[in-house]
Structure 1
Amino acid sequence: MIRYDALDALPVRGALPGLDDALEGHGTAVLVAPPGTGKTTLVPLVLAGLLDDGRPARRVVVAEPRRIAARAAARRMAWLLGEKVGESVGYTVRGERVVGPHARVEVVTTGVLLQRLQRDQELADVDVVVLDECHERHLDADTVAAFLWDVRAALRPELRLVAASATTDAQGWARLLGDAPVVEAQGVSYPVEVVWAPPARPVRPPHGMRVDPALLTHVASVVRRALAEREGDVLCFLPGVGEIARVAGQLGDPTGRGDVDVLQVHGRAPAAVQDAVLSPGARRRVVLATSVAESSLTVPGVRVVVDSGLAREPRVDHARGLSALTTVRASQAAGRQRAGRAGREAPGAVYRCWTEAEDGRLARFPAPEIKVADLTAFALQAACWGDPDATGLALLDAPPGGAMAAARAVLSAVGAVDDSGRATDRGARMSRLGLHPRLARALLDAAPDVGVARAAEVVALLSEEPPREYGDDLAAAWRAARRGGDAYAGRWRAEAKRLRTMSAPGPSQPGPIPERSSRPSQELTPEAATRQAPGPARDGSARPSPALSSSSAAGRGVAARTGDDHVAGLVAALAFPERVARSHGGSYLMASGTRAELGDGTGLRAAPWLAVAVADRPVGAGHARVRLGAVIDEETARRAAAHLYAEGDEVGWADGDVVARRVERLGAVELAVRPVRDAGSGLVREALVQGLRTEGFGLLRWTRDAETLRQRLAFLHAHLGDPWPDVSDDALHARVDEWLEPELGRARRRADLGRIDAGQGLTRLLPWASGDAARLDELAPERVEVPSGSGIRIDYADPERPVLAVKLQEMFGLAETPRIAGVPLLVHLLSPAGRPAAVTADLASFWKDGYRAVRAELRGRYPKHPWPEDPAKAEPTRHTNARLRRT
């Protein structure tokens, strides 16, 4: 029996006429409805015509970002209809499908819908698609929306699309869906009191996956405070599974009376636990949850929210070849969503574990996943869809060019796309496995050697990172999962079974499309996370791919002979070829060039080679840290990273001279090195140029004249510009071909550079063509004649103001400061002993004002030299008074 009383109480009912008009007139709509209004439950039932209101029967697919939300929504709708799940309303999530033959509403994860679109682009049996929780901006959800708009525009204009969200960029989604009408529903919200509850002492900001334990201790204390001060259940938001476990351990029995249940809700939690949270409890509850509880679920009984203020977002470091979820400050929008959970059923309160001042500095919205995540799976989806660059997809945010280039490089390396970026047959097959392309490659290529079953088990282990207590040795973690009776081991066995089933058919028997959620659990690295991959390509060049059959005689034989360490290492190396690493100087150097270190107490330390499956960079560390790896040998490394193999002569500048070697390498890892005596002249020349850059032009022979010439040219360039050349180091490096050839081309080693006359080279840069070179001595003379008749060398060390250092008596009678190229010289007037007595750029002013003090100081010290009262009219001289009298 339909529960009309519950349905009539849902506030979204008032928006249904507007939604009907929008879909009838436009075919698309954006529905903005606050949490708790019934947008996820009532709207699909109405659109499907299941409420006996005269509407036509339609098939409706509702896409949710998470499995827990999909199951909860389906069960709630079935309850509203008075039915069991699977009759009129069913759901499909990874590894679980409850959909009867007469179901008219099916709730799926966005990953499942993405797979269906890849194999059936028309969605021929679907009338309406509702994309729920669009504001979360998950990559799969954005991709599904783009694909659906493509389908509607090109294949099925009658397909109706609804983008639904509690809070979203309504106008942005409206533009994306062809200027769709925006329909807003008014919610019934209760007031939520904000209590600012920051830690008493500062805590360290999050870094990577690390959260300051002091903050978690504070969050636990705030939960106890909330229990004491407020009524109702407490919902506490934490960034990940590890933090939930630690806070749960600190809470224990929160009140000390045994009257409160502590529940943990996250993507890894067993379905039974997730379901229990969504039903009213017999006792008071503390629900510790990740962001899964922000908007997709209603946890009944909650009157208080405790918000740690943290969230997890994916990040990719392309330079280091590392990807990971990282802990960040939650956005203001997330904070509003979380706080709203306390006011769904009655007035409530939110305890925020930060200051009110900090709140104003938080980001307004979370970063769209397409901007920060690993895009390898997305790029394969786009390639299989027929748009390798994703330039034709209707996306709210375009994928970053650098991330797409990195993704295409990975896909090319594993044979998933051809040179034009189109999906190959192998890429299409990889996409049907429902794995990240890296893991799909590992499963396809390892199975013929070690057997489908064993390869599937290791890939399943990599698709969801094992618990920390399993250790950092992948093979040991594999054995622990086999023995384990925990929730992780159960999920691992189910995934391994799915992968065995999916992998067993050959290329001519593709088997069923996997139904799989693409959202990684809270502590997975994006590269290791299982993501939703696309289906068959529209067009793609054929490339042979290995047949996978667990019944293969060769596969059985090799598998029987192969130990766990080898199997785990092979699979990990095939999945992450850039991370095959060789022991070097107490750490490991990956093929990507990143150096990694092992943690204390690891059993991997003695291994000469590792395949690094998971790595991060600890706070303040210069190198990455291996969190999960497997022992391999050089042969396995060569096989897995064959596309990184290179062999050739490498000539460079090292240890102060030219070093020529013949090197075999896997990326940055050197496999074999031997000296080369007859290196090519071009490579030697490049090495010498590198040496000049590293150690400077002091490697050349610089006479005094050469140094002076460079200074003179620098002076002319600074004051006259062209055609006088720039002779700075950068400029000389840029024109090395012009001024150091042919001498540089004949050099072979450091000693040869020392025989090259730098001055002779510089003369090649003079402006001979324009004829200005002939004016060098006129514009920047080496010497200038002073009144005494002496030719004094000019010091051009400072090109802005050359210096003329001359004895004071030799300048008598000169009223104006000497100039060159229109620039007055800086005159250093010296005592008879050659020591500085005065410095001036205005000689006339010095004679008038400064000379008197100098004369008073020096005439007693040097009585044999002339010190006239009026130097401007005196005779210049190089001699003493006695010499003057004799002449």
Structure 2
Amino acid sequence: MRVRHTARVSDPLRHLLAAPPDLPVTAGLPALVEALGTRGLAVVHAPPGTGKTTLVPPAVAGVVTGRVVVTQPSRIAARAAARRLADLIGEPVGETVGYSVRGDRRSSRRTRVEIVTTGLLLRRLQRDPELVGVGAVVLDEVHERHLDADLTLALLVDVRANLREDLRLVAMSATVEAERTAALLGRGVDPEGPDAAGSAPVVRVPGALHPVREVWCPPPAGVRRTDDRGITPAFHDHVAATVRRALVGHEGDVLVFVPGVAEVEGTVRRLAGVDADVHALHGRLSGAEQDRALSEGPRRRVIVSTAVAESSLTVPGVRVVVDAGFSREPRTDHRRGLASLVTVAVSRAAAEQRAGRAGRLGPGAVLRCWSEADHAHLVAHPEPEIATADLTAFALEVACWGSRDVRDLALLDQPPAHAMAAAREVLVDLGAMTEDGGATPRGRVMAGVPVEPRLARALIDGAGLVGARRAAEVVAMLSEDVRAPGGDLVAALRSLRADRRAGTWRRQVTRLEEVVAHQSAAEPSGTRALTDDVAVGLVVALSHPDRIARKRPGATGYLMASGTGAALDLRSPGPLVGLEWLAVGDAERRPGQREARIRAAAPLTEDLALEAAGSLWAEVDEVTWTGGRVLARRRTLLGAIELSSVPLGDPPAEAVSHAIREAVASEGIALLSWTEAAVALRARLDFLHRAIGDPWPDVGDTALTRDLDTWLGPQLARVRSAQDLRRIDVTAALRARVPWPEAGRLDDLAPERVEVPSGSRIRIDYSQEQPVLAVRLQEVFGWTSPPLLAGGRVPLLLHLLSPAGRPAAVTADLESFWDNGYPGVRADLRGRYPKHAWPEDPRSAPATARTNRGRRG
């Protein structure tokens, strides 16, 4: 299908569109051209495999003047897309079609279509918001919701609304969220301009995938798929066995999905000896190695890949997919400052995209290493990175853009408030951001370093301490998902130096050295003569001072400066075990675990820890209630790590009083000395509070603890020891809690004792829900009703006792009891206690406190 051009386009691209390959996206190109011509915006909704990455950029080039910049989520995808398009027009990469990725650029003045990683475009936007010379930007795979892609989209909307209304924008998505993206693209337009209609037009291209047969391949019974270190060796063996099964039972090349680089390499080793060429595919490989994996050869191939091949990359020749069912995603514990990549079950949407790779050339098959029942329990979609990732770099980019409020940006989802607050706190501590959210000059320098802000700080400050080359080596290593053997980063660095295949790492080292060379503040001025062991630790500590860790006394675990406990994996002991100080490069704390697990670290010394984390050093005087006594000491701290502690001989009185208050508040008022009189008084006051309410005070545990300073304040101020605490007069303090004149009525409303007809004064028990008077039956002869308490509101509950003091009856209605209950009680007790008086008419009988008629007392 021919596409009409409204702007000059290079001959090779015009020729391609005049006779395009047979790809489904061709049917949507006229609508795309029309949308760009009238609105300047468009969203292309097309499933993977429809050819949108190949043919949309040339079509866009036909309607704009200037370069068309196309984003891809990874370096592999950018290079592959450029090579594919250049092959179609019969030119080498770098002429009409070029690419730019971190550390590798092939483009020229003739380049009309430049394919870049999203992160690289983000850097360009910060340097040149007007994108001089660029006519259009095509954002590919926006549905993957990577953090830098979300931000780049938002900044481009801002640029178009305020700086470049002529800039054409195309967003390409493989999911049904195209409508949300279209609404977002239209958010920043001028309501008076040509885009006033709102959302960008959506160009829909139907998919043309061949059928893919699902084969369920769950692991054998008893084989766990994962443990706390990721996928288990037994499950890894099962994945390799499934690949061998695919080679025997199916035709075509096999694409295998595993979660990370370590799993890719482990699978390749397990497939040694199969009748096929086995290739690894991941972002750390050199360009030549990636090209070999993506190129068809004379023999059948097995390509073992991370999620990089999930949707943004075409792998020719594939007819079979083996899916291990896991991916690696960012997770951040913002409270503890722990961010890492974790292995999680793949989502259903990602599983479908992976399976679709087998149906691009013809009917194919997907072998899933889990059961159909397990598949039903997978989450529908992966969470966007903005909801789960560490937002420190994101927050710095927003600040460098000049936005003080992230809500002003056109983001598909706003970041969690607590995560943004944590990120800004880190940036302020690094000197990269002001308290009001603006970027500092140091922050702008850090934002220009092609690593996250903490590592940028380690590079800039570490270069002057350990040398630019060594600082760059360590930072380049930390910028990758390094799985150090035994967690030892020093060993990992030595391994990288000796590995001839570590070209990607070496190129990153060179780039970082060049960054240091341009920063005069970071030029070596006091380079230390440090061995690799501690030099690596110092750079790691500079990147994450909150993760500096010291061994707990008498234990194998560590305490990090952040206050989080951590432990090495003792199942794989290495040279780090037993060291006093560690600089932790990577740690994760799984739900339900008390301590974080140290995944990568390097040795450190106390002196270097203080140098790397000087801002965390503090000297505090601390007075606490410990073990039933006041403990006062002066502590020297590095964050939460105690460096030293000495006793304080004469602690401030205010600090002692505060410690006592804290102890009573935390341990409860039982810590006070409660005499019998104090307990009784509290019970009477509690009764009046329940019966009458205000102004009689609440004297429950919660209220007394909450209002400790109100009723015990003056006495607490004089406490210096446990002995002083025991001397507090709780009874007097409780009495003082009752306001006047009500305090003068306490004995009337809730008397401590009551006089009964026998003349005895008997104590009332206020500890029950209703006040109780326990009295011998003979002592209340003559009473027709018990006294009323609380100003006539509550009758006494009489526990009437036998001559031996045992319960005989319970009543609050004495009149009814004399008529109805007493005759039965009299008959029972008269037989057991014949020598005592049991009158027929208790109302008129004299009361007596004597135990029998023959004895006077």
Normalised by the length of structure 2, the TM-score is 0.90
Q: Secondary structure at the match of 1:123?
A: coil
**Is 1:46 aligned to residue 59 of structure 2?**
yes
> In the aligned structure 2, how far is the partner of 1:602 from the partner of 1:719?
69
1:13-34, CA deviations, whole angstroms, 9 ceiling, x for partnerless residues? 2222222232223222221101
Asked whether the equivalents of residues 665 and 671 of structure 1 are also in contact (C-alpha less than 8 Å), the reply is yes
**Is 1:103 aligned to residue 111 of structure 2?**
yes
For 2:386, the equivalent position in structure 1 comes to 370
> In the aligned structure 2, how far is the partner of 1:452 from the partner of 1:503?
7
> In the aligned structure 2, how far is the partner of 1:677 from the partner of 1:9?
88
Q: Determine which of 665, 690, 704 is the counterpart of 1:732.
A: 704
CA RMSD of aligned residues (A): 2.9
Greater displacement, 638-647 / 599-608: 599-608
The one-letter amino acid of 2:567's match is E
For 1:118, the equivalent position in structure 2 comes to 126
> In the aligned structure 2, how far is the partner of 1:153 from the partner of 1:477?
47
What are the within-5 Å matches in structure 2 for residues 763-842 of structure 1?
A: 763-768=735-740, 771-786=741-756, 788=758, 790-798=760-768, 800-810=769-779, 820-821=789-790, 822-823=793-794, 827-837=798-808
Asked whether the equivalents of residues 43 and 203 of structure 2 are also in contact (C-alpha less than 8 Å), the reply is yes
Q: Determine which of 436, 459, 475 is the counterpart of 2:475.
A: 459
> In the aligned structure 1, how far is the partner of 2:297 from the partner of 2:827?
102
Q: Secondary structure at the match of 1:34?
A: coil
> In the aligned structure 2, how far is the partner of 1:154 from the partner of 1:348?
48
**Is 1:9 aligned to residue 29 of structure 2?**
no
Q: Secondary structure at the match of 1:604?
A: coil
**Is 1:311 aligned to residue 327 of structure 2?**
yes
Asked whether the equivalents of residues 814 and 872 of structure 1 are also in contact (C-alpha less than 8 Å), the reply is yes
Q: Determine which of 606, 613, 617 is the counterpart of 2:585.
A: 613
> In the aligned structure 1, how far is the partner of 2:661 from the partner of 2:310?
59
Q: Determine which of 577, 581, 598 is the counterpart of 2:568.
A: 598
For 2:209, the equivalent position in structure 1 comes to 189
Q: Secondary structure at the match of 1:40?
A: helix
> In the aligned structure 2, how far is the partner of 1:321 from the partner of 1:883?
85
> In the aligned structure 2, how far is the partner of 1:613 from the partner of 1:287?
31
Q: Secondary structure at the match of 1:574?
A: helix
The one-letter amino acid of 2:805's match is G
> In the aligned structure 2, how far is the partner of 1:366 from the partner of 1:115?
26
Measured after TM superposition, the shift of residue 574 of structure 1 is 1.0
Q: Determine which of 631, 640, 665 is the counterpart of 2:637.
A: 665
For 1:134, the equivalent position in structure 2 comes to 142
Change in 2 beyond 3 A, CA 1:684/1:881: closer
For 2:544, the equivalent position in structure 1 comes to 576
The one-letter amino acid of 1:107's match is I
For 2:522, the equivalent position in structure 1 comes to 548
Change in 2 beyond 3 A, CA 1:865/1:450: same
Change in 2 beyond 3 A, CA 1:188/1:599: closer
Q: Secondary structure at the match of 1:727?
A: coil
The one-letter amino acid of 1:220's match is A
| Higher RCO (C-alpha under 8 Å, 6+ residues apart) | 1
> In the aligned structure 2, how far is the partner of 1:718 from the partner of 1:305?
73
**Is 1:223 aligned to residue 243 of structure 2?**
yes
For 2:533, the equivalent position in structure 1 comes to 565
Measured after TM superposition, the shift of residue 398 of structure 1 is 1.4
Change in 2 beyond 3 A, CA 1:414/1:865: same
> In the aligned structure 2, how far is the partner of 1:31 from the partner of 1:683?
67
Measured after TM superposition, the shift of residue 81 of structure 1 is 1.3
**Is 1:676 aligned to residue 648 of structure 2?**
yes
Greater displacement, 490-499 / 623-632: 623-632
> In the aligned structure 1, how far is the partner of 2:38 from the partner of 2:830?
106
> In the aligned structure 2, how far is the partner of 1:497 from the partner of 1:116?
20
Normalised by the length of structure 1, the TM-score is 0.87
For 2:397, the equivalent position in structure 1 comes to 381
> In the aligned structure 1, how far is the partner of 2:268 from the partner of 2:490?
30
For 1:692, the equivalent position in structure 2 comes to 664
**Is 1:242 aligned to residue 262 of structure 2?**
yes
Measured after TM superposition, the shift of residue 137 of structure 1 is 0.8
> In the aligned structure 2, how far is the partner of 1:788 from the partner of 1:287?
102
Measured after TM superposition, the shift of residue 185 of structure 1 is 1.0
Q: Secondary structure at the match of 1:411?
A: helix
Change in 2 beyond 3 A, CA 1:777/1:347: farther
For 1:589, the equivalent position in structure 2 comes to 559
Measured after TM superposition, the shift of residue 385 of structure 1 is 0.9
Asked whether the equivalents of residues 45 and 77 of structure 1 are also in contact (C-alpha less than 8 Å), the reply is no
Measured after TM superposition, the shift of residue 288 of structure 1 is 2.6
Q: Secondary structure at the match of 1:804?
A: strand
> In the aligned structure 2, how far is the partner of 1:330 from the partner of 1:284?
27
- How many residue pairs match? The answer is 826
The one-letter amino acid of 1:476's match is A
1:833-872, CA deviations, whole angstroms, 9 ceiling, x for partnerless residues? 2234555667677778877776676555444345567878
The one-letter amino acid of 2:411's match is L
What are the within-5 Å matches in structure 2 for residues 340-351 of structure 1?
A: 340-351=356-367
What are the within-5 Å matches in structure 2 for residues 318-717 of structure 1?
A: 318-469=334-485, 471-485=486-500, 487=501, 489-507=502-520, 547-549=521-523, 554=525, 558-559=527-528, 561-585=529-553, 586=555, 587-600=557-570, 601-617=573-589, 621-717=593-689
Asked whether the equivalents of residues 206 and 328 of structure 1 are also in contact (C-alpha less than 8 Å), the reply is no
1:479-525, CA deviations, whole angstroms, 9 ceiling, x for partnerless residues? 3322233x3x3322221111111211235xxxxxxxxxxxxxxxxxx
Asked whether the equivalents of residues 776 and 801 of structure 2 are also in contact (C-alpha less than 8 Å), the reply is yes
Change in 2 beyond 3 A, CA 1:352/1:808: farther
Greater displacement, 377-386 / 361-370: 361-370
Greater displacement, 683-692 / 779-788: 779-788
Asked whether the equivalents of residues 32 and 167 of structure 1 are also in contact (C-alpha less than 8 Å), the reply is yes
Q: Secondary structure at the match of 2:695?
A: coil
Change in 2 beyond 3 A, CA 1:808/1:426: same
> In the aligned structure 2, how far is the partner of 1:4 from the partner of 1:391?
41
Greater displacement, 174-183 / 421-430: 174-183
Measured after TM superposition, the shift of residue 220 of structure 1 is 3.3
For 2:231, the equivalent position in structure 1 comes to 211
Measured after TM superposition, the shift of residue 808 of structure 1 is 4.3
Change in 2 beyond 3 A, CA 1:878/1:633: same
1:49-70, CA deviations, whole angstroms, 9 ceiling, x for partnerless residues? 2xxxxx5554111111111111
Q: Secondary structure at the match of 1:36?
A: coil
Q: Secondary structure at the match of 1:435?
A: coil
Q: Secondary structure at the match of 2:164?
A: coil
Q: Determine which of 57, 62, 70 is the counterpart of 1:62.
A: 70
Change in 2 beyond 3 A, CA 1:25/1:844: farther
Greater displacement, 295-304 / 422-431: 295-304
> In the aligned structure 1, how far is the partner of 2:802 from the partner of 2:238?
76
Asked whether the equivalents of residues 591 and 667 of structure 1 are also in contact (C-alpha less than 8 Å), the reply is yes
1:745-786, CA deviations, whole angstroms, 9 ceiling, x for partnerless residues? 122222111111112112232133xx4444433443333455
Asked whether the equivalents of residues 207 and 327 of structure 1 are also in contact (C-alpha less than 8 Å), the reply is no
> In the aligned structure 1, how far is the partner of 2:443 from the partner of 2:650?
44
Asked whether the equivalents of residues 212 and 359 of structure 2 are also in contact (C-alpha less than 8 Å), the reply is yes
Q: Secondary structure at the match of 1:7?
A: coil
Greater displacement, 732-741 / 214-223: 214-223
> In the aligned structure 2, how far is the partner of 1:84 from the partner of 1:134?
28
Unaligned runs of 5+ in 2: 1-11, 187-198
1:179-227, CA deviations, whole angstroms, 9 ceiling, x for partnerless residues? 2222211111222333344334366575665224443343334334444
Change in 2 beyond 3 A, CA 1:815/1:189: farther
**Is 1:86 aligned to residue 115 of structure 2?**
no
Asked whether the equivalents of residues 483 and 600 of structure 2 are also in contact (C-alpha less than 8 Å), the reply is no
> In the aligned structure 1, how far is the partner of 2:133 from the partner of 2:415?
31
For 1:36, the equivalent position in structure 2 comes to 49
Measured after TM superposition, the shift of residue 156 of structure 1 is 0.7
Greater displacement, 173-182 / 237-246: 237-246
> In the aligned structure 1, how far is the partner of 2:121 from the partner of 2:438?
22
Measured after TM superposition, the shift of residue 323 of structure 1 is 1.4
Asked whether the equivalents of residues 688 and 750 of structure 1 are also in contact (C-alpha less than 8 Å), the reply is no
Greater displacement, 390-399 / 151-160: 390-399
Q: Secondary structure at the match of 1:612?
A: strand
